[in-house]
Amino acid sequence: MKKLLPFLLFFCCPAFSQEVTRVPVSGLDALLRHPDTALVVNLWATWCAPCVKEIPHFEKQAKALKGQQVKFIFLSLDMEDAYPKKIQQFIRRRQLDSPVFWLDEQNANKYARTIHPRWQGSIPATIFINTAKGYRKFVEGEISEARLKKEISSMME
């Protein structure tokens, strides 16, 4: 019975299976265009300590604002060798619920200007977009929970 218990637990309990969606540079515009929903896009990587530190703030806000017209997205800028296995392991360990995408481009010069005209590619970074209100703000660097709440509130006003 002791040998059978782990086997039974594996099949009776659903596994956390958040997927990582690959997005090419050509798909960035579509990813960032949500005319009816405000959008918070966090640019991060599994190896970036400040990125990892701020991720719980985003998940907490996503849960608090569930059902409202705001969507949270994590856009991984990890290297190609991290996709998908390392990123999925990271997601599983931290039990992320928000959608996770991996940008399939290692050259920041090819995608940075799509995100923000002056961005050089440093992370963490966050984009706040509310197309319906003509709002778009780019914040470079680690963001505190209080600042995140403030930026979301500004975007939603």
- For 116-152, the pLDDT digits (tens) are 998 989 999 999 999 999 999 999 999 999 999 999 9
Q: What angle do CA 112, 21, 103 make, to 5 degrees?
A: 15
Q: Output the average pLDDT for the chain.
A: 90
Where does the pLDDT of residue 75 fall: very low under 50, low under 70, confident under 90, or very high at 90 and above? Answer: very high
**0.85 surpassed by pTM:** yes
**Residues forming beta bridges with residue 22, ordered by sequence position:** 102
Two structure tokens written together for 66: 């569930």
Q: What integer pLDDT is reported at residue 51 of this predicted model?
A: 98
Which sequence spans correspond to the domains of the chain? Answer: 19-156
Decide if 37 contacts 99 (C-beta within 8 A).
Answer: no
* pLDDT at residue 13 tops 70: no
Q: What integer pLDDT is reported at residue 132 of this predicted model?
A: 94
Domain 19-156: give its CATH architecture.
Answer: 3-Layer(aba) Sandwich (3.40)
Decide if 63 contacts 97 (C-beta within 8 A).
Answer: yes
Q: How far apart are CA 33 and CA 117, in angstroms?
A: 17
* pLDDT at residue 70 tops 80: yes
Q: For residues 119-131, b (16+ Cβ closer than 10 Å) or e, as one string? A: beeebbbbbbbbe
